Structure 1
């Protein structure tokens, strides 16, 4: 597995509106750039030091890239529900999702102490370097962590501003805002359950799935699909089908991310490949490995997978245990199963063939598995 490839750009569709997911991602990035430029102008009017040190870093981080999966699934959800209404509203909600993602990543990196993100230094690492370079007083790490929290807060404020302005001008604004409110709450709940599991030293499979669902599956795929469908005025039947499809596809995405976190190439993933293992982060992969080790009486695997199993070769030993217990193979099978189930749920939304083909492409990209029969041509 070589990691998730970015959606390649292509020219915009005829008539000035995007015609495909790839065109929508490009158009959404243009809207996002315009929003960031306007927010930077406002920040400079408030205070030039804040604008330079914090606001500009948030904008640069957002523009650094990312997989833009939320934008892609948002557009797919809108199209699946008929694509009614103003496409500009969809692109603005996409921008809000990317800003919300920036908030989550900046805060997540502070909490986890992660040094890298999106192929470059994490925001708190950049702020620590700035502190040392400019000769500010006090501990650089304390300043950087506190400033990064503010940077994440600013990204969230920008996201809320964009979403609220869009909802006020949208015929389905109240429904859109309810979906957004649920998205934010689930994201925070998932992050807290992750921290709680770490503090408790949990290795429970059910808890790992709860965290994966709240922190990633709903937030990355499920809610973007239903946010898009809401903008198109989807009925309850379509929303339920898309929510179920998104939950399964989102879990498949998170389980693939777990595998990349344990076995991926940092040059391709843009983040360290040993961080989840080194910190014993509760993932479905780790929880399944512990359960299989206990069932098979593999005392060595139990030891190296436990919080007490640290040592100079701990990461290599954990990778070997994940392979030996069969956990890696089991998770691969689970990803394939979830991807297939997602497509069955999506079919209930009664989207046209073109949208269904695009959804297949997105699920394949997110989950890292082939979802179509051999020989079938991708749309």
Structure 2
């Protein structure tokens, strides 16, 4: 999502690889099972777009930072990738998913490990979930460790740890709200669903990494405040675009069959908006059978389209991106930062299916 020059991108990859190597080295000394967990963690963090650490570096560069003045930049950037991986691993446990990107995830690998040792289905699920929870815990620890030990000034370190603290708390609150919304007998209103969508993603994916780069570049408090405001709107737009992809995106966009969120009857802001229309009874009926196959999925997509909910959600994405662009025009932000933020907004707009 964010393109970096080859040298910074390689430096970020090296910092991530070094952290994963440390995890594997520590795990190898603690028994065969734990050694396998170290390998599973490394595989969970492999690949991906790595746009969160790219945001740290891009923000730092846009504010005129030089690596000579902040040699810990790439360690801090790597911390945000490990934080993301931790949330993904834990999210898979919450969603009972055992596959990611077409391969067994941490939980899936350890379910297979348990089965190979004669465990029944219940035992395999128990080991898989335990391994994934522990993997996420280790990744969270390593992310905080990277930030705590990064070669930065004392004041910078305190500010960075505050950003990570906020990212963890807000993301956890968003995840819990999302699950509560999913299991409640009554549907949450669209405002509550939008708040959960924001909290799950916006802070740890946009506000915190952008602000981390600014902190390391010695940006002013006014500039960081404006940047955080823009990041908040970008993060919401990104998550809402993700919800549209989950309902309407192509398999290439979604990384799975089209309409996955509809098959799983996820209570996203899209569904919250549909509930506010006169067509809700028909939409609800279509979604309730979407799990039966692609024809039912297409019918649910058609009903959501006709209800106007899809158009309303696209409008909310546009509104959030407009708010981000207005925040980017704050005079406290240097021109290069404003350009970075508008570039990100344009990339998010292109994600909308």
TM-score (norm 1): 0.83
Query: d(CA) in 2 for partners of 1:228 and 1:97?
Result: 11
Structure 2 distance, partners of 1:263, 1:84, is 42
Q: 1:235 to 1:29 in 2, by over 3 A?
A: same
Structure 2 stretches of 5 or more lacking a match?
none
2:6 is aligned, of 6, 11, 21, to 11
Q: In 2 relative to 1, CA 147–272 (structure 1 residues): closer, same or farther, beyond 3 Å?
A: farther
Contact 1:261 1:272 in 2 (8 A): no
Is the contact between residue 100 and residue 155 of structure 1 (CA under 8 Å) also seen in structure 2? yes
Aligned pair count?
A: 347
In structure 1, what is the equivalent of residue 274 of structure 2?
Answer: 289
Structure with the greater relative contact order (CA < 8 A, sep ≥ 6): 1 or 2?
A: 1
Q: Which moved more, 1:124-133 or 1:148-157?
A: 124-133
Contact 1:128 1:144 in 2 (8 A): yes
Q: Does 1:128 align with 2:111?
A: yes
After superposition, the Cα gap between the structure-2 partners of 1:231 and 1:10, relative to the gap in structure 1 and judged at 3 Å, is: closer
Shift in Å at residue 349 of structure 1? 5.7
Give, in angstroms, the shift of residue 348 of structure 1. 1.3
Residue of 83, 96, 99 corresponding to 2:82: 99
Pairwise CA RMSD = 2.6
CA 1:258/1:310 → structure 2, altered by over 3 Å: closer, same or farther?
closer
Distance between the aligned counterparts of 2:87 and 2:206, measured in 1? Answer: 15
1:264 alignment partner in structure 2? 249
SS at match of 2:49: coil
Map 1:123-202 → 2, pairs under 5 A:
123-136=106-119, 139-166=123-150, 170-200=154-184, 201-202=186-187
Q: 1:38 aligns with which of 4, 13, 22?
A: 22
Question: Taking structure 2 as the reference length, what is the TM-score of the superposition?
Answer: 0.88
Aligned match of 1:29: 13
Q: Contact 1:116–1:272 (CA<8 Å) still a contact in 2?
A: no
1:235 offset after TM fit, Å? 2.4
Task: Tell me whether 1:49 sits opposite 2:33 in the alignment.
Answer: yes
Q: Which of 286, 302, 309 is equivalent to 1:327? A: 309
CA distance in 1, matches of 2:72, 2:337: 19
- Which segment is superposed worse, 206-215 or 158-167? 158-167
Q: Which runs of 5+ in 1 are unaligned?
A: 1-5, 13-23, 371-379
